[in-house]
Amino acid sequence: MSDPGELTYRRVHAAPPDLLFDCMTDPAHLTHFWGPTGTTTPLDGIVIDLRPGGAFETTMVNNADGSTYTMRATYVEIDRPHRLVWIEPETQGGMKTTVTFTGLPDGRTEVITHQTNVPAAYRSAEARAGFQTSLDRFAAYLESLEGGTSWER
């Protein structure tokens, strides 16, 4: 069983690891899916300095009331197209997110998002459901690019 301060999400997408990695590291892609349903992340609200020690910041806008939430992180590891790791130092304990992209023999890619030092508020059922909607948005965006299909595992 995982630690209560950890969350893991798994998805399989009908797309190659290179494309999935690029979608997670290119603002022109991220603007289409970053954030839960009911939010947008404008292109000018995304900062990516793709190197260890570089900034990864996104400002999500709530579509209902216009309020904003900025996520500020620092890249720790970049291994294109296999792995991305960042830490959000402003969260209690410094939440660490590791995303791995594993190519499967049939051409699909398994994406595992593993988070550690997850604050209690982010572990609530509501927060996890919101995160799932952002994964759904990512899958729909990939399908629009590839004409493919995504599967949750």
Q: Which domains does the chain have, with CATH numbers?
A: 7-146 (3.30.530.20)
C-alpha span between 64 and 103 (Å, rounded): 38
Q: Cα angle at 73 between 42 and 32, to 5 degrees?
A: 25
* Cα four-point dihedral sign 153, 148, 113, 44: negative
Q: For residue 129, what pLDDT is reported?
A: 92
Q: For residue 1, what pLDDT is reported?
A: 42
Q: Is the pLDDT of residue 88 over 80?
A: yes
Strand partners, 71: 58
pTM summary value:
0.89
Q: What is each CA distance from 94 to 54, 90, 91, 153, in whole angstroms?
A: 16, 6, 5, 27
Q: Model confidence at 147, in pLDDT bands (50, 70, 90)?
A: low
